[in-house]
Amino acid sequence: MGQALRNTLLYLLGLLPLTVALPVAAAILTQDLAPRWRNLYRGLIFVPLIIAPVAAAAVWRWLLDPGFGLVNMAIQGLGFAPVRFLQSPDLAIWTIIWITGWKLIGFSTLIVSASLANINPSLIEAARMDGATEWQITRRIRLPLLSPVIFLLVLLTMLLGAQWSFTYIHVLTQGGPLGSSHNINYLLWQFGFGSLAAGWASAAGIILFAGFGMVAVSLLWLMNRVTFHDN
């Protein structure tokens, strides 16, 4: 149980850059692209989300295979030894985090892009006329007005991040090796449907509900205090 809780925390912290920081940066950097290129990039970045999780997991298992996977073939081509991404206790959890984040980057980026499109353009034009640089516009106007969306993405990641990774854990590692990639959600499933240990499953469920309930209340309280709205 303790290892599952630690792994859950790693999943949540590891997903935040992929589901919040990277999408915000990508949306801001591509906001001024020509509409044709912006729509193309949004379509391409959204593709991973529409792929069935089991199919995506199967493709990643093939890509990361230490014997004939394309990723390890490229690594060997550079003169390095093959990397056992899914078989190493030190790398398995980070590999699952990356795959889960890859699946969700497009969803987060589109949400941020939609929020950017709703920013009053007169605010940005006025700042440019006053001589503000793009970085100053981003720091003083765009990021403050994006704060509600950023907190929403943080909230979704903290509440659902471990759940989003369930399919990839089940298909790629089954919680291994040595329990290094399982989390509280997967442990709950193992207790409830693997070993049929109803008592342990109930305990894990209570910990899950209480822990994430406190996280949700804390984030909602913080969101109401620090977010900025253009009204």
Give pLDDT tens digits for 137-163: 888 889 989 999 999 999 999 888 888
Average pLDDT over residues 164-193: 86
Calculate mean pLDDT across residues 176-182.
85
Phi, psi of 62 (to 5 degrees): -70, -45
How far apart are the C-alpha atoms of 51 and 113, rounded to whole Å? 21
Cα–Cα dist 37/43, whole Å: 10
In a domain, 231, yes or no: no
Q: Is residue 123 part of a domain?
A: yes
pLDDT at 230: 66
Q: How far, in Å, CA of 40 to CA of 31, rounded? A: 13
Average pLDDT score, the chain? 87
Give the closest residue to 116 by CA, choosing from 37, 193, 32, 184.
32
Number of domains in the chain: 1
Q: What is the pLDDT of residues 78-119, one digit of tens each?
A: 988 899 999 999 999 999 999 999 999 988 998 998 888 888
Answer yes or no: is 84 within a domain. yes
- Evaluate whether residue 166 is within a structural domain: yes
**110: containing domain:** 2-226
> Are the CB atoms for 2 and 10 separated by under 8 Å?
no
Report how far residue 165's alpha carbon sits from residue 186's, in angstroms, rounded to the nearest whole number.
9
CATH number at residue 145: 1.10.3720.10
Site of tokens 């207790």:
191
Mean pLDDT for 5-32 is: 90
The Cα–Cα gap between 101 and 27 comes to: 16
- What does the pLDDT average to over 45-62? 90
